Structure 1
Amino acid sequence: MGCAAWCWSRATARWTRPRSVRSARVSMELFRRWGVAEKIRCAEFPGARPPDIAWVTQVGGHEIHRFERFTHDTHTPEPEQICPADWLLPVLLTAVGTHPGGSILFRHRLDGFTQDADGVTARVSRLAEGDTTTIRASYLVSTDGPCSLVRSACGIQSTPRFEPQVLRGIVFRAPRLAEGLAARGYRPALTYFLLQSCGARFPLQAMDNNGTFKLIAGSDEGAIDALSLVRDAIAFDTPTEVLSDELTNVPLMVAERYRAGRVFLMGAAAHTLSPPGGFGRNIAIADAADLGWKLAAEHAGWAGAGLLDSYDAERRPVALEGLEAAGIALRSRGSDDLSGRLRDDTSEGVLARTELGLQLAESVAHWDVDAPEVHFGHGYRSSLVVGDEVKMTAPWRPSSDPGFRAAHAWLRPGVSTLDIFGDGFVLVCFAPHQRLGEVVRAFEQRGVPLQILKCADPEIAELYRYPYVLVRPDDHVAWRGHQPPADPLLLADMVRGAC
């Protein structure tokens, strides 16, 4: 499923700022569908470095808690992946293509747009040359950031739901840090949380395999020079060099609506969430998957009148859930009163570290780095989902609940159930029935692509729980039943947004 599109950006095709991108399991599943997951894994990062998260007094100091990452991936064919942005961007650009051979225009700026009953007309300037061109399309999708001009032009409000976060990001080089840790017998980690006696928990993350790191501190630390903060973060002397020191204002908001006529908001134009948990970026990737299949259905002519409206109804609640989860993750970084003895090599220091370690193990501190309950645990509630509302409870496990992502299971080595989904609807059948032909004819009558997947695996049948499960192009369950639908035409109309 797909349709032609143009994409333009003010940026260049190169990413020059060190940044590590965390692709959650759901995002990696989508990258798998789009044929780039394996290329992303070839980034060779973090390499031999354990991808763990360690809560410490200092790097090379006392370790209080460790979360072993990538050890909880039984519910997906694609484990989470850390990939530097300067590697991820070329992979995606190669897959999509840049102008003139592809559809991405860099160093272009949107100057304005108008819309009518048949489409959108956009005025776009080439920044280097200064000339302007006009692009006519059926729809406009904006991802132009938290200060979105498109959102403003549509009159869509975006009120911050929490106090904006001001974060200080210090990028530095410590080329001999890994060597120093090894010499002292310390196991490295991908991310450290530096526990301060004031209650703050500053993340420090490796950005590459060559000794580049990024320390995130609160704006309250602005009076302290960057080099002093870096040196205090490491428990032993090692050569360091500060590369950059910047303040970033992160507004925590979700737009009041995602659609205005033929204009849609996506990504940071629709929601800005704080860095903890990686919710913003990964929710944006899922936004694209959701709106993408619906626009393709509209282009192909089988979408009902309500299909595109369901983008707002389904994706906006996910952003609101992500905003709450990001808030929980931020609070887990703490303004708690931590013992001033955490760094002490005394019995009181040992006791303080032991007590805090137990608290961290039982808390939601891992949401800062691992929140499958959020990424997998949202269920759509819209007119496209047929069935009673289901609340996902811990321990979470995808199955065939209407509105939720259908369960992953291996059909055969290397082939997941999720690999079958994506190109139209799929009716998964664990039992034969003489009325299956009626379902196929009903969907054909409405022009809705449908394939039948017959599965005789009893373990997968037990996982899905119902003998007949209809899965949408975005892997979410549209309907399930103990018998084929009594009115297949009605079901086809409901899941395509015609009811």
Structure 2
Amino acid sequence: MTGLRQETTQVLVVGGGPVGMALALDLAQRNVDCMVVDASDGKVRHPKVSTVGPRSMELFRRWGLAGEIRSAGWPGDHPLDVAWVTQVGGYEIYRFERGTADTRPELRHTPEPDQICPAHWLNPLLMRAVGTYPDGPLRLGHRVGGFEQDDDGVTASITDMTTAESFTVRASYLVACDGAASPIRTACGIDAPARHEAQVFRNILFRAPELPRQLAAQGRRPAMVYFLMLSAALRYTLRSLDGRDTFNMVVSGDDDPASLVEDAIAFDTPTELLSDSTWHLTHRVADRYRHGRVLLAGDAAHTLSPSGGFGLNTGIGDAADLGWKLGAELSGWAGSGMLASYETERRPVALRSLEAANTNLRRTMNRELPADLRAATPEGEQARAEMASRLQKGGARSEFDAPNVHFGHGYSSPLVVGESVDISADWRPGSDPGFRAAHAWVRPGVSTLDLFGRGFVLLCFDGSDRLDGVERAFAERRVPLEVTRCEDAEIAKLYRFPFVLVRPDGHVAWRGDRAPDDPGKLADVVRGAA
């Protein structure tokens, strides 16, 4: 790599998808210089279905983008329902009513419910926020040719695919967000073994401009997602992408796409086929998330079924966890165990999310579809009633109502003081060590979550004459800390302990009945130096 122009940055992010850009946003808030390189031109030609989950929306709230995501284009009055149907406009067997974005009730556990924002809306929005070169760190049309690392950093060779110019980038760390195939993961010798049988599916993207009007004329309430229950090929989702006239349908097999679209709708309606793409579903989690100064995030670290929408959101969580730890390393206050905790904390989340997503997928794939479901007979009515009961009792709606998956992961980590807890069905976030600190409204429009994000926050629901010692111990180690007094009795009841230390990623690091007896030891533990 000699003889080439060399640029420098603190963190080189390879891959400009949502996870790579989320990491860039987090690093920017921590005043960490980064460069994001992506081989594509940034255009989304076949948008993936993209529900931004509630925990991800909380993180985008921190990064200042939640409002833009909510106003990206999904109509506020379009139902968020999920319906299991023989065909769109055919027999409706079961419906999970979720209201609309404008009318659904406020959720007690988050200020930011999930939001529909497919990739052709989300990616451009993130690109504008991150900024494209030369005004920002995102460089499209740039390919990584190889890299070398030593004790002090990573040197990568980069080619500008427009000009064919090659140059090198010297960075303290490289983060691979380069997708499921991840050449960087392969170059690091990190395996990501399959955990379940691979599947092959197709995404058929089409327009049906008259479909919403025709459904309304029949007195039918539209749904956001339709689960088709017609055949082996048509048993997956047909989903509205924009709440208007564009839809994505997941199918299996190699039947003609136009015929499949026609079969999925119970009446004649004009359609326009936009694209038909094959994709391979693999269920993988990397054996390791780190190789020296190279770290994995997003699909490079894990790929899982889209059933439940956990994949993107697991990756956004990676970015939030890794961002503050890289910031600590580069600011000089991290201990030797800081970056090692990234894998310790995030890999179990990926494994758990993978199994939850696969459970949802198998529920759909293994569901029997008796021919009577489509019959206009008493036997058909009976078959549909029995199927509705099975869907209700079989947890079908849990694919779209899974707060425990989005919020219920606690980190058993060297950076956390205290025992993790078991998650029950009625569990609500509080101040359990390792878990995301609970949301509550401090005042109108301001959540407890808005207090967290930069450095550590010590929430105090009671007074103590030892707080000066805590502040001094953290300051001596250059660990950013803000001591915040909260006098709200309801929030104190929710958090349960009078002193709660929250990390920069919003997870609880420690809690106690009194201020810490040895604040220096606590500061060393939470910065990975104990």
Q: Shorter-chain TM-score: what band?
A: over 0.9
Checking the alignment, whether the CA contact within 8 Å between 1:254 and 1:272 is kept in structure 2 is yes
Residues 433-472 of structure 1 aligned to structure 2 (within 5 Å): 433-472=464-503
Equivalent of residue 386 in structure 2, options 345, 351, 355:
355
Checking the alignment, whether the CA contact within 8 Å between 1:158 and 1:253 is kept in structure 2 is yes
Q: Which runs of 5+ in 2 are unaligned?
A: 1-29, 99-103
In the TM superposition, residue 90 of structure 1 has moved relative to its aligned partner by 2.1
| Secondary structure, counterpart of 1:20 in structure 2 | coil
In the TM superposition, residue 109 of structure 1 has moved relative to its aligned partner by 0.2
1:322 corresponds in structure 2 to: 353
| Distance in 2, Cα, partners of 1:327 & 1:406 | 28
Aligned: 1:29 with 2:58: yes
In the TM superposition, residue 47 of structure 1 has moved relative to its aligned partner by 4.0
1:300 corresponds in structure 2 to: 331
Task: Letter of the 1:22 partner, please give it.
Answer: T
Superposed CA deviations along residues 401-438 of structure 1, whole A, max 9, x for unmatched, are: 00110000000000000000011001111111111111
2:205 corresponds in structure 1 to: 171
Residues 22-421 of structure 1 aligned to structure 2 (within 5 Å): 22-69=51-98, 73-196=107-230, 201-218=235-252, 221-222=253-254, 224-421=255-452
| Distance in 1, Cα, partners of 2:232 & 2:117 | 32
Of the structure 1 ranges 193-202 and 279-288, higher mean CA displacement relative to structure 2 is found in 193-202
| Secondary structure, counterpart of 1:213 in structure 2 | strand
Superposed CA deviations along residues 332-351 of structure 1, whole A, max 9, x for unmatched, are: 21323233211122222222
| Distance in 2, Cα, partners of 1:347 & 1:474 | 56
Checking the alignment, whether the CA contact within 8 Å between 1:276 and 1:367 is kept in structure 2 is no
Task: Letter of the 1:134 partner, please give it.
Answer: T
In the TM superposition, residue 198 of structure 1 has moved relative to its aligned partner by 5.2
Superposed CA deviations along residues 23-45 of structure 1, whole A, max 9, x for unmatched, are: 00000000000001101111131
| Secondary structure, counterpart of 2:275 in structure 1 | strand
In the TM superposition, residue 199 of structure 1 has moved relative to its aligned partner by 9.8
Superposed CA deviations along residues 119-175 of structure 1, whole A, max 9, x for unmatched, are: 100100011221101100100000111111111111111111111121111111211
**CA distance 1:198–1:269, shift in 2 (3 Å):** closer
In the TM superposition, residue 368 of structure 1 has moved relative to its aligned partner by 3.0
Aligned: 1:19 with 2:53: no
Checking the alignment, whether the CA contact within 8 Å between 1:55 and 1:195 is kept in structure 2 is yes
| Distance in 2, Cα, partners of 1:71 & 1:188 | 19
Checking the alignment, whether the CA contact within 8 Å between 2:234 and 2:264 is kept in structure 1 is no
Checking the alignment, whether the CA contact within 8 Å between 1:200 and 1:335 is kept in structure 2 is no
| Distance in 2, Cα, partners of 1:340 & 1:87 | 39
| Distance in 2, Cα, partners of 1:47 & 1:455 | 35
| Distance in 2, Cα, partners of 1:114 & 1:145 | 20
| Distance in 2, Cα, partners of 1:199 & 1:243 | 19
| Distance in 1, Cα, partners of 2:395 & 2:245 | 29
Q: What is the TM-score of this pair, normalised by structure 1?
A: 0.97
Identical counterparts, % of pairs: 56
1:429 corresponds in structure 2 to: 460
Task: Letter of the 2:52 partner, please give it.
Answer: S
In the TM superposition, residue 91 of structure 1 has moved relative to its aligned partner by 1.6
In the TM superposition, residue 477 of structure 1 has moved relative to its aligned partner by 0.5
1:2 corresponds in structure 2 to: 31
Checking the alignment, whether the CA contact within 8 Å between 1:197 and 1:342 is kept in structure 2 is no
| Secondary structure, counterpart of 2:308 in structure 1 | helix
Checking the alignment, whether the CA contact within 8 Å between 1:290 and 1:311 is kept in structure 2 is yes
| Secondary structure, counterpart of 1:315 in structure 2 | helix
| Distance in 2, Cα, partners of 1:156 & 1:493 | 31
| Distance in 2, Cα, partners of 1:376 & 1:190 | 23
| Distance in 2, Cα, partners of 1:454 & 1:211 | 50
**CA distance 1:39–1:198, shift in 2 (3 Å):** closer
Checking the alignment, whether the CA contact within 8 Å between 2:224 and 2:243 is kept in structure 1 is no
In the TM superposition, residue 369 of structure 1 has moved relative to its aligned partner by 2.8
Task: Letter of the 1:108 partner, please give it.
Answer: H
| Distance in 2, Cα, partners of 1:18 & 1:435 | 54
| Secondary structure, counterpart of 1:341 in structure 2 | helix
Superposed CA deviations along residues 273-312 of structure 1, whole A, max 9, x for unmatched, are: 1111111110001100100000001111110100001000
| Distance in 2, Cα, partners of 1:341 & 1:447 | 69
Aligned length: 496
Checking the alignment, whether the CA contact within 8 Å between 2:212 and 2:244 is kept in structure 1 is no
Superposed CA deviations along residues 190-209 of structure 1, whole A, max 9, x for unmatched, are: 11000136597310011224
Checking the alignment, whether the CA contact within 8 Å between 1:47 and 1:209 is kept in structure 2 is no
In the TM superposition, residue 212 of structure 1 has moved relative to its aligned partner by 1.5
Q: Which runs of 5+ in 1 are unaligned?
A: none
| Secondary structure, counterpart of 1:128 in structure 2 | coil
Task: Letter of the 1:402 partner, please give it.
Answer: P
Checking the alignment, whether the CA contact within 8 Å between 1:43 and 1:84 is kept in structure 2 is no
Checking the alignment, whether the CA contact within 8 Å between 1:195 and 1:201 is kept in structure 2 is yes
| Secondary structure, counterpart of 2:352 in structure 1 | helix
Task: Letter of the 1:96 partner, please give it.
Answer: V
2:17 corresponds in structure 1 to: none
| Distance in 2, Cα, partners of 1:347 & 1:460 | 55
| Distance in 1, Cα, partners of 2:461 & 2:516 | 15
Task: Letter of the 1:326 partner, please give it.
Answer: A
Checking the alignment, whether the CA contact within 8 Å between 1:199 and 1:335 is kept in structure 2 is no
Task: Letter of the 2:142 partner, please give it.
Answer: H
**CA distance 1:428–1:481, shift in 2 (3 Å):** same
In the TM superposition, residue 96 of structure 1 has moved relative to its aligned partner by 1.1
Checking the alignment, whether the CA contact within 8 Å between 2:206 and 2:275 is kept in structure 1 is yes
| Distance in 1, Cα, partners of 2:95 & 2:427 | 22
